[in-house]
Amino acid sequence: MKIVLSVLTAVVLMVHAGAQSHYPGQHEGKFIVKDKLIPAVYSFDLQDVKLLDSRFKQNMEREQQWLLSIGANNLLHSFRTNAGVYSGNEGGYSGKKIAGWESLDCELRGHTTGHILSGLALMYASTGDERFKTKADSIVKGLAVVQQALNQDGYLGAFPQELINRNIAGQPVWAPWYTLHKILSGLIDQYLYCDNRQALDIASKMGAWAYKKLRPVTAEQRSQMLRNEFGGINESFYNLYAITGNADYKWLGEFFYQNETLDPLKEGKDILEKKHANTYIPKLTGLSRDYEIEGKGGGDSIAAFFWNTVIDHHSFVTGSNSDKEHFFKPDDQSGHLTGYTGESCNVYNMLKLTRHLYEHTASMKYTDYYEKALFNHILGQQDPATGMVAYFLPMLPGAHKVYSTPDSSFWCCVGSGFENQAKYGEAIYYHNAGDLFVNLFIASELSWKEKAIKLKQETNFPEDGGIKFTVEAAKPAGMILNIRYPSWSVAGATVKVNGKKVSVKNTPGTYIVLNRNWKNGDIVEVNFPMTLHLAATNDNINKAAILYGPIVLAGEMGTTGFIAPQPYSNPQLHNDYYTYDYHVPAGIPTSLLISGAKLSDAIKPVAGGKLTFKTVKEGIQLRPLYDIHRERYVVYWDIK
């Protein structure tokens, strides 16, 4: 860490005008208000990182099929119905009308259309494939017609404003601002990643409507309204402000600062118990964004305190949190190993927040978390057989993942899933003026345009700890290559440059720094030792999960007791994930006799199996949790 800090100090003085920021296109002049914060490191634009073949790329490709299979008309149907726009059958409906949380009687309808606009934008940026842009263009065009037909000061929604009125009046309603946030965010992503000016125009009009709507709201109404879930709409309004320079949107961002939940964090109080996790997390992302724009203020330290509190006291070994969507008592993991843990949206939002905080500090703890949650939760959220995604990641021994259906679920986690699987390239590499940081080991190719340098990363990680980098450069280029030596590793990492061993004095949790004039064809090979280790719950040292490197291993428990449609959700019951009966058969083993033994003696690799192990005494087969699908599993064991 020490080395990195000294490098960073030098770099702050050298930061060049026009460096990319957290959001794509900032360097292309898409933001009128430039960020005042000079971050420690910058993201690369998604289009500069191409995934090579791996589980991540395969997930992304399955997601593409799903994204393309849902017709634009289907996604516009509820909006058009709300506006009384006759849509005819132009272009035809692909399949039946979408249902679940997108049904015409669901108060959240429209959220998927927003997520899909984001998903298509991210997918277009990640692949350059025009199909994603063409599809998004037609959705944006359809939304413009709806906004015009509604003719309500710029309001745009798949439900009438009545839902917003109910929210302002403190009457029961699901989460109308949450839904509007997804639409707004999708439109902004269309502008940033696909240069769709019409999308920005629609978003700006929505902002103008929101300003007019909320300006007269009293302090009492505001505090009542903000008790309801509103997603990360504050972040979208801050972005809209930075893009347009219109201070009304900044006012809106600040309007959504909820004193009740955020002020105690300022004082360092953990008040998370019983709070709805996914309502809470994005409030902090908005604060972080405000901090970037302003370059000052307390928002970032509140966000950092929140992040530490969630990670240290409210999370499972997978990087997920919550039980039935709510934070539990600090450090009470072992009391919450239920079938309803780990909402996927929470992880999606924690990863978003993590990226902001990492860019501000370059602190490796953020990257360690990012890897943990990405590999153990997000990668495994998708069923590789069907491309469907899970809402929860259950920790109940003997439970299994419960997957959505293609057109009848559309839960929040299906929506955020459309984004999750499209942006695997966003956190692999970071940079500042002279340094390149390799944070994640995912087969990929980076193009660093300002340096006229390409870096190809080839790896089978996490099947083994070996990674090979190949430099492509038309002429020699100076670059400080920082390769993350992950905290989960142990002493003994090896590094070779062009076949020659380089001595490694680093310890895990630091960056290995290679400062050279890089030539075309230079090769760097690194190997990080991976070992088996235990991670106990905070409240019970004898209740622990088994990991290999950063990968959570789970015991495979078969499919006994599955009753159709298990492991899929019942398409007739849109919320069955919440009361799902796992029919866990009696006698699922939950204890391991490994206490006192050397872990590598008690758990042995299975010959020929990728990341497959067996406990010597019980004969239980362990595999990565991300890879266990359509089958029961056990993550946390009683260690005896």
Which residues would be at the binding site for Zn ion (CB under 5 A)? Answer: 343, 345, 412-413
Q: CB 348 → Zn ion: shortest distance, Å?
A: 8
Complex with Zn ion: residue 181 or 484, whichever CB lies closer = 181
| Burial tier of 564 (Cβ tally within 10 Å: 0-12, 13-18, 19+) | exposed
Question: Which residue is it, tokens 């949190």?
Answer: 321
Complex with Zn ion: residue 206 or 413, whichever CB lies closer = 413
Structural tokens at position 262: 């955020």
Q: CB 109 → Zn ion: shortest distance, Å?
A: 16
Half-sphere exposure at residue 574, Cβ-oriented, CA atoms within 13 angstroms: 19
Q: CB 439 → Zn ion: shortest distance, Å?
A: 26
Torsion from C-alpha of 560, 564, 569, 571, nearest 10 degrees: 180
Closest C-alpha to 381, from 351, 426, 337: 351
Q: Using CB atoms, what's the residue nearest to Zn ion?
A: 345
Complex with Zn ion: residue 55 or 111, whichever CB lies closer = 111
d(CA 251, CA 257): 10
Complex with Zn ion: residue 278 or 489, whichever CB lies closer = 278
Pairing between strand 523-527 and 510-518? unpaired
Q: CB 63 → Zn ion: shortest distance, Å?
A: 16
Q: Which residues of 463-487 are buried (b: 16+ CB within 10 A; e: fewer)?
A: eebbbebbbbbeeebebbbbbbbbb
Q: CB 175 → Zn ion: shortest distance, Å?
A: 11
d(CA 367, CA 311): 13
Complex with Zn ion: residue 392 or 548, whichever CB lies closer = 392
Q: CB 410 → Zn ion: shortest distance, Å?
A: 11
Q: CB 392 → Zn ion: shortest distance, Å?
A: 9
Using H for helix, E for strand and C for coil, what is the string for 173-227?
CCCHHHHHHHHHHHHHHHHHHHCCHHHHHHHHHHHHHHHHHHCCCCHHHHHHHCC
d(CA 140, CA 136): 6
Q: How far is CA 291 from CA 211, 298, 300, 363, 430, in A?
A: 21, 8, 6, 17, 20
Q: CB 415 → Zn ion: shortest distance, Å?
A: 7
How many other CB atoms are there within 10 angstroms of residue 619's CB atom?
A: 8
Q: CB 418 → Zn ion: shortest distance, Å?
A: 12
Helix residue ranges, H only, 388-510: 412-420
Complex with Zn ion: residue 309 or 409, whichever CB lies closer = 409
Half-sphere exposure at residue 238, Cβ-oriented, CA atoms within 13 angstroms: 26
Phi and psi (nearest 5°) for 592?
Answer: -130, 135
- Residues near 118 by Cβ (< 8 Å), separated by ≥ 6? 182, 185, 186, 189, 418, 419
- Assess contact for 502 and 496: CB atoms under 8 A: yes
Q: CB 326 → Zn ion: shortest distance, Å?
A: 13
Q: CB 407 → Zn ion: shortest distance, Å?
A: 18
Q: CB 342 → Zn ion: shortest distance, Å?
A: 10
Closest C-alpha to 417, from 458, 385, 389: 389
What's the angle, vertex CA 135, arms to CA 133 and CA 137, rounded to 5? 65
Complex with Zn ion: residue 43 or 409, whichever CB lies closer = 409
Q: How far is CA 469 from CA 454, 472, 482, 495, in A?
A: 10, 10, 12, 11
Phi-psi region of 537 (alpha: psi -120 to 50; beta: other; left: phi over 0): beta
Complex with Zn ion: residue 93 or 578, whichever CB lies closer = 578
Q: CB 553 → Zn ion: shortest distance, Å?
A: 26
Tell me how many helices (H) and strands (E) the chain has: 19, 21
Complex with Zn ion: residue 412 or 530, whichever CB lies closer = 412
Q: CB 123 → Zn ion: shortest distance, Å?
A: 20
What is the chain's Cα-based Rg?
A: 24
Q: How far is CA 544 from CA 365, 549, 592, in A?
A: 21, 15, 10
Complex with Zn ion: residue 419 or 435, whichever CB lies closer = 419
List residues bridging with 623 in a β-sheet: 554
Q: CB 344 → Zn ion: shortest distance, Å?
A: 6
Complex with Zn ion: residue 126 or 279, whichever CB lies closer = 279
